[in-house]
Amino acid sequence: MDTKKKELVGEFKNGGQEWQPKGEPEQVQGHDFPDPKLGKANPYGVYDQHADVGWVSVGTDHDTSEFAVESIRRWWNKMGRLRYPDAAELLITADGGGSNGYRVRLWKVALQRFANETGLRISVCHFPPGTSKWNKIEHRMFSHISMNWRGRPLISHEVIVNLIGSTTTQSGLTINAELDTNLYPKGIRISDEELETVNLTKASFHGEWNYTIGIKCSG
């Protein structure tokens, strides 16, 4: 899982080339100042290496830990649990920083809520600093999305969702995409007491990067 680069929404230049009728180039703005009404899109992706399928939530608000976990939740409810109905544990590989960073307290608290909801053990392996491009989602999903929409202005969130959802490869990659218009406020602070409620077990090898969050029984 990972966040793709934030994209300006509107009639802005998008790198790359595509075929257009001669003399009818796509018209775009001369400057890349964000449209105050359309803002930016935050594509957050989940990629299933085994099945070669992906999920992308296109957020319209902030890229926070709650947004990241909500993207996982949507993938699980609409794709994951249908494909793996007997699953008891979910393994997530993720960058070490950003909304899913290993130091981010809200990330772990939000994962605990997800574990409690689903009954899944959530194992997380963060890529060490400087190695984020090792994440398979970069080469096997995000790169193909970028190629699919190259040269096309991303004029609306709906266009972005449709272009992501129409991305395929000869090897069989398919992607489901959905717009997420929920609000995800920044600046939520997690106290030491709240963090201690997370049922987290560190791995023996670099436990700060590799850990499992188990179900937390109430009472």
Average pLDDT over residues 24-46: 74
Q: Pairing state of beta strands 2-3 and 174-180? A: unpaired
* pLDDT at residue 180 tops 90: yes
The candidate with the shortest Cα–Cα distance to 122, out of 111, 113, 135, is: 111
**Straight-line distance from the first to the last Cα atom of the chain, in angstroms, rounded to the nearest whole number:** 33
Average pLDDT over residues 186-214: 97
| Lowest pLDDT segment from 43-57, 144-158, 181-195 | 144-158
| Lowest pLDDT segment from 3-7, 26-30, 124-128, 198-202 | 26-30
Beta bridge partners of 42: 59
Q: What is the 3-state secondary structure (H, E, C) of 114-165?
A: HHHHHCCEEEEEECCCCCHHHCHHHHHHHHHHHHHCCCCCCCCHHHHHHHHH
* pLDDT at residue 65 tops 60: yes
CA distance 132 to 155: 29
* pLDDT at residue 139 tops 60: yes
| pTM metric for this prediction | 0.89
pLDDT, the chain, mean: 90
* pLDDT at residue 219 tops 70: no
The candidate with the shortest Cα–Cα distance to 152, out of 10, 14, 42, 11, is: 14
Sequence-distant (6+) residues with CB within 8 A of 198 are 108, 109, 111, 112, 213, 216
pLDDT at 39 (0 to 100): 83
pLDDT at 57 (0 to 100): 98
- 103-138 pLDDT, tens per residue? 999 999 999 999 999 999 999 999 998 887 888 999
pLDDT at 134 (0 to 100): 85
CA distance 160 to 154: 6
* pLDDT at residue 87 tops 80: yes
